[in-house]
Amino acid sequence: MTNTKGEIGLEKQCLEYTQQLGGELWKVRQVGQRSLNDRLLLLPGLPVVFVEFKDDDTPLTAGQLRKHTRLRSLGKVVWVVRSYEAFRARIAVIKQEMEHARLR
């Protein structure tokens, strides 16, 4: 299923899914800061993820690319999500990675 509702519809779908998993998807706002990620994903037992929602064909801005690079250089997880299916798949992968790491 492709996102046909735009970024706002995609965020809403992902928010509902996150809540079903017992998590939070907080809106990010900071006065004086541009190019911040749209949301912070917080799920039980998983690292915090910075999430940027984009329509299928909308490129990241130069400021967003700089911000993502900076966050990743600090060891943070940053996702650019273009579909609901991709969001769910990334959560499944990170859950699997965390479970695998716990079993080591």
Q: Work out the average pLDDT over 31-38.
A: 77
pLDDT tier, 36 (very low <50, low <70, confident <90, very high otherwise): confident
Q: In Å, what is the CA distance from 21 to each residue of 14, 44, 45, 46?
A: 11, 8, 11, 12
- Which residues have CB under 8 Å from 63's CB, separation 6+? 34, 35
The share of the chain scoring above pLDDT 90, in percent, equals 66
Please check the confidence at residue 69 and state whether its pLDDT lies above 50. Answer: yes
User: What pLDDT shows up at residue 2?
Assistant: 46
- pLDDT greater than 50 at residue 82: yes
Contact (Cβ atoms closer than 8 angstroms) between residue 61 and residue 75: no
Least confident of 2-6, 26-30, 36-40, 83-87: 2-6
CATH assignment of 6-90? 3.40.1350.10
The domain ranges of the chain are: 6-90
- Whole-number pLDDT of residue 31: 67
Q: Is the separation of the CB atoms in 63 and 35 below 8 Å?
A: yes
